[in-house]
Amino acid sequence: MKKLLIASAVSAAFAAPTVALAQAARAPTLSQVLDASGINVSGYFDAAYTYANRNLEGGVLTDRVFDSQNNSFALHQFGLQVAKQPSRGFGGVVNITAGSDAQVIHAFPETTAGAGSMFDITQAYGQYAAGDLTLMAGKFVTLAGSEVIWSPSNTNFSRSILFGAIPFTHTGVRAGYALSNTVTLYGGINNGWDQLTDANKGKTIELGATIVPSKPLTINVTGYFGKEAAVAPGTQPAAAQDQRNLLNVVATYTINNRMSAGGEVLYVSQDRAVGGSAKYNGLAGYFTYNLNREWRVAARAEMFDDKNGFHFAPAAPFATSDTKYKEVTATLAYLPNSSVELRGEIRGDQANNAVFRNSDGTTAKSLLTLAFQGIYKF
């Protein structure tokens, strides 16, 4: 009997840790808790080294968006998004961007009051979904353009000229309605281009449509119409207000499971600007080819016509001259796994006027950059 009691005690002593371990193993992880609640958390780090043969520093205006260093490493973006977007009912999205790129995408009034900040609340909106209808209210990214702020979603490191010629974000309300399996319509009203609070009292109307006429082809058509300051987009000083219109068409075509191509057309006009009115327009083409699971090449070519120097406002003597820009970009990407992407890029820009500046103050008609980028996604 005594031996039986001792054996039972020993067995219990060994069983206790086993039971505890089993209970711990059954405890849900944070990821499982979030998945069960319908909350999705995703993000990335985007760091790069850039070399430029012209001067990009010190506020020198070029046709680049996020490239502002001549020879430097930079943390371009740390992006984080927390989203709950059920197919029915209430949800919301919060998306923050930290890093050097955040200084560029700030909405008014931070464009003037805190432009040096490297932190930006890029999106923060609530939504309500009811079948084919989705309603949004808050701050959200624009409908226009092929490229986006979220770095991993682009195939090139540098952003296009056209990306810098459209708004980044809007604050207001937006509705999306799936008319059919092939057509989704969008409509909304907001404060205008990159305005967290209203800078001019006027409101901007947004209209859009996503059309999928066939499985490989997707077409996005976007229009923005409203009164804005009659100065170049990205600046919001007290100025005369008049009509600004944007029309953007983006088409993407999946050639096969390795190749895809796309095109974009942009037209923007601004009334009562320099000389009474101003406009700019652009055209871009994209091509992507997956060599295999680990290697990808991407190319982009575009043209941009800046009438009266309205958008880039280059220094004299070209401040009010028509300046035509061209650029070609080639990017090689290595993807060792689903979380890591390494890119090397070469890009050349040209203009018909000598609008690019050297470090000694002289000007040139061309700009060449080399870049190496690393992205970690989680």
Read off the pTM: 0.89
Q: Where are the domains of the chain?
A: 1-37, 42-377
CATH code for 42-377? 2.40.160.10
pLDDT by residue for the chain (378 residues), tens digit each? Answer: 444 444 444 444 434 455 444 444 566 766 667 777 789 999 999 999 999 999 998 777 789 999 988 999 999 999 999 999 999 999 999 999 999 999 999 999 886 544 579 999 999 999 999 999 999 999 999 999 999 999 999 999 999 999 999 999 999 999 999 999 999 999 999 999 999 998 888 899 999 999 999 999 999 999 999 999 888 776 655 567 899 999 999 999 999 999 999 999 999 999 987 667 889 999 999 999 999 999 999 999 999 999 988 898 777 677 778 999 999 999 999 999 999 999 999 999 999 999 999 989 899 999 999 999 999 999
HEC secondary structure over the chain: CHHHHHHHHHHHHHHHHHHHHHHHHHCCCHHHHHHHHCCEEEEEEEEEEEEECCCCCCCCCCCCCCCCCCEEEEEEEEEEEEEECCCEEEEEEEEEEECCCHHHHCCECHHHHCCCCCEEEEEEEEEEEECCEEEEEEEEECCCCCCCCCHHHCCCCCCCCCHHHCCCEEEEEEEEEECCCCEEEEEEEECCCCECCCCCCCCEEEEEEEEEEECCEEEEEEEEEEEEECCCCCCCCCCCEEEEEEEEEEEEEECCCCEEEEEEEEEEEEECCHHHEEEEEEEEEEEEEECCCCEEEEEEEEEEEEHHHCCCCCCCCCCCCCEEEEEEEEEEEECCCCCEEEEEEEEEEEECCCCEECCCCCEECEEEEEEEEEEEEC
